[in-house]
Structure 1
Amino acid sequence: MNAHDSSQTDVRLDDSPELRPEREATVGSAGRRRRPQRGERLMVPDAEFRSYYGRPVLQETPWQAPDIAGYLFLGGLAGASSVLAATAELSGRPRLARACKTGALCALGGSLYALIHDLGRPQRFLYMLRTFKVTSPMSVGTWILTAYGPQAGLAAATAVTGLFPRLGRAATMGAGLTGGAVATYTAALVANTAVPAWHDGHRELPYLFAGSAAASAGGLGMLAAPLAEAGPARRLALAGAVAEYAAAKRMERRMGPVAEPLKRGPGGLLLRLGTGLSLSGAAAGILLGRRDRRAAVAAGAALLAGAICTRFGIFHAGLDSSRDPAYTVEPQRARLSHPSQAPS
């Protein structure tokens, strides 16, 4: 046996043909396993991912479900209700408009309470008004709420009291214009975090939140308005439920393994329940809610319940994805292995 045959640990820096290709050291190859050649058997099996002592890679978010998930639902309901109120105002449906304006103000109050309760002190909300940072969804959202809140309050107050109708109409239009942003900016807010199920769903979450908010506002309109004036509410509920379903399905397909928390566990259960309630409520509103007041009330309640389940489902799915390190590390490895396939 010669020296070349017995030296299995020599490192060669030249391109001598005596160097075995599979023993060549390549810069940047750490952590990558070489594919076995034909007829070659790996002595060590492929390693499976394990976290350090089983601990999560991400620090768990301190957000609490009743506050933040409730904030997501109520904010969407408020914004979409203002849009529906403006539509009802323009189309001559005063009772539908008044119901949506009042509902928007109540939902806004609950949303602000949940947000401030999560922040801990009301002053923290005011502190965010000291600056405007266009790259921060929290900063932009704070200013959106500040512009929307007084208009929604004035629209509701004038509708209930009957005073200053022209001022109330102008406030209704203003709240309707900013209501769409109120209903959807929370999607950008949660997608801007490192939580895998939220961050990787940044493309579809705004459409999902918009659809869920529209469905809930339509449900509120069917609950509170007479059948003769609830036509726009029924159509908005149907469009919102379909948009929510389509966005959720597209998000699950595109996200791949990271979408598993959206389909299993508490988050998956709530999302399936929310989709079922929203679609059934929208269908019942269109088919039965035109003539039967009891069917309209049941459909509206189902739509509101579906929107609640959807927002809480998204919230819990995000928390579940942040607890499992695989949803953080494996997508990063896939992006490093296939840079051209990395999501934008």
Structure 2
Amino acid sequence: MGDHKGGKERKGRKGRRGEQLMVPEAEFTSYYGKPILNPPTWQARDIAGYFFLGGLAGAGSVLAAGAALTGRPRMARALKISSLVSVSGSAAALVHDLGRPERFANMLRVFKPTSPMSVGSWLLAAYGPAAGAAAVLDVGGRLPRTGRAATAVAAALGPVVASYTAVLAADTAVPGWHEGYRELPYLFVGSAAAAAGGMALIASPVAENAPARSAALFGTALEGVAVRAMERRLGVVAETYREGTAGRLMRAAEALGAAGSLGGALLARRNRTAAVLSGTALLAASACTRFGVFHAGMRSAEDPKYTVVPQRERLAAREPRQTQG
């Protein structure tokens, strides 16, 4: 019986000598139709909000430092305040998802360089006070040297704050996130830069918003390139970014981002109303991107196809190399 079964299995596959497929591949099913993976229990409001607000905070700190260095004090102050509010909201969303505040404190008891969650917790613990000091000291007009140092620290940590959540998501087994590990950090940085540019367009005077317009164009372009590259490389898993709730959100993000960045570049340099509308569109685009990525990941975890097909493709790609070896 064992030999007979093994013979059937060998006939059912394309062997080393190039035999043709004799029986169809097995369906990708699981026990009682259950998902192969246990989908995360994360809520969109908490985790996608955590992604969005963290990105806005980190990129905002970088843009605030640049504004301060180039003589744009009102833009710098507005972005420092925005970053403080955003990182506070991001931390609140994370704590709400964890269920109890002490769980966040417990993550700071040990530092694990191999754990994105551990590194992220320590990163927030370092970035939050720096962003807070930069904003409070600027508004209060006190301790200017300390304020400049806090601004510099927040700006140095800002890019990591904006992108580490992509590493956190890609480190899971969720196919829509794990398979996109190469492009997700660029996607998150682009989305964050566009959001910070949008916030600066809303909150700063027209005379100071040139860096905001540049950040919006850069961020929108980087996000678009990253999305296209990820969809080309992900194969069947890219369906989760094109269809359903995630697909609608990603298309909305693309349209809003294009409208916001072009409106900012062409109209916001002269018209305050256009600057506010463009900035609002950019913030909405960034939020749509983060929620779209979240929903794409959740759908990929629920359907066995998005786990099984990539595994089969990797195995099929290895077979010729093993035969040659």
In structure 2, the residue matched to 1:100 is 79
- Quote how far apart the aligned CAs of 1:339 are: 2.1
Is the CA contact (8 Å cut-off) linking 2:190 and 2:219 kept in structure 1? yes
Is the CA contact (8 Å cut-off) linking 2:55 and 2:188 kept in structure 1? yes
In structure 2, the residue matched to 1:158 is 137
Change (3 A) 1:34 1:179: closer
- Cα separation, 2, equivalents of 1:157 and 1:30: 69
Match of 1:307 among 265, 277, 286: 286
Change (3 A) 1:31 1:304: farther
Match of 2:118 among 130, 139, 146: 139
Residue identity matched to 1:212? S
- Cα separation, 2, equivalents of 1:188 and 1:318: 14
* 1:234-313 map, 5 Å: 234-313=213-292
Post-superposition Cα deviations, 1:87-130, rounded to whole Å, max 9, x if no partner, equal 01111110000000000000011101100000111111111111
- What is the count of residue pairs matched by the alignment? 320
- Quote how far apart the aligned CAs of 1:47 are: 3.6
Is the CA contact (8 Å cut-off) linking 2:236 and 2:309 kept in structure 1? no
Change (3 A) 1:294 1:68: same
Bigger Rg, structure 1 or 2 = 1
- Cα separation, 1, equivalents of 2:220 and 2:298: 24
Residue identity matched to 1:252? E
Is the CA contact (8 Å cut-off) linking 1:86 and 1:172 kept in structure 2? yes
- Quote how far apart the aligned CAs of 1:279 are: 1.7
Question: How much is the aligned-residue C-alpha RMSD, in angstroms?
Answer: 2.5
In structure 2, the residue matched to 1:17 is none
In structure 2, the residue matched to 1:130 is 109
- Cα separation, 2, equivalents of 1:276 and 1:170: 38
Match of 1:48 among 27, 37, 41: 27
Residue identity matched to 2:141? G
- Cα separation, 1, equivalents of 2:240 and 2:320: 22
Is the CA contact (8 Å cut-off) linking 2:14 and 2:21 kept in structure 1? no
In structure 1, the residue matched to 2:178 is 199
Residue identity matched to 1:297? V
Q: Does 1:319 align with 2:298?
A: yes
- Cα separation, 2, equivalents of 1:10 and 1:76: 56
Match of 1:69 among 29, 45, 48: 48
- Cα separation, 1, equivalents of 2:183 and 2:320: 18
Post-superposition Cα deviations, 1:134-186, rounded to whole Å, max 9, x if no partner, equal 11000111111111111100000011111111111111111000011100000
- Quote how far apart the aligned CAs of 1:45 are: 4.6
- Quote how far apart the aligned CAs of 1:25 are: 5.6
Is the CA contact (8 Å cut-off) linking 2:40 and 2:298 kept in structure 1? yes
Is the CA contact (8 Å cut-off) linking 1:81 and 1:217 kept in structure 2? yes
Q: Does 1:176 align with 2:152?
A: no
Change (3 A) 1:45 1:154: closer
Change (3 A) 1:32 1:254: farther
Q: Does 1:116 align with 2:89?
A: no
Is the CA contact (8 Å cut-off) linking 1:335 and 1:341 kept in structure 2? no
Match of 1:216 among 195, 204, 222: 195
Listed as ranges, the gaps of 5+ residues in structure 2 are: none
Residue identity matched to 1:302? A
- Cα separation, 2, equivalents of 1:284 and 1:197: 32
Change (3 A) 1:55 1:201: same
- Cα separation, 2, equivalents of 1:180 and 1:138: 17
In structure 2, the residue matched to 1:167 is 146
Residue identity matched to 1:79? G
Q: Secondary structure at the match of 2:108?
A: helix
Residue identity matched to 2:155? G
* 1:77-92 map, 5 Å: 77-92=56-71
Q: Which structure: greater helix fraction?
A: 2
Identity of aligned residues (%): 56
Residue identity matched to 2:306? Y
- Cα separation, 1, equivalents of 2:127 and 2:14: 58
- Cα separation, 1, equivalents of 2:146 and 2:13: 72
Q: Secondary structure at the match of 1:56?
A: coil
- Cα separation, 1, equivalents of 2:77 and 2:320: 50
Change (3 A) 1:145 1:341: farther
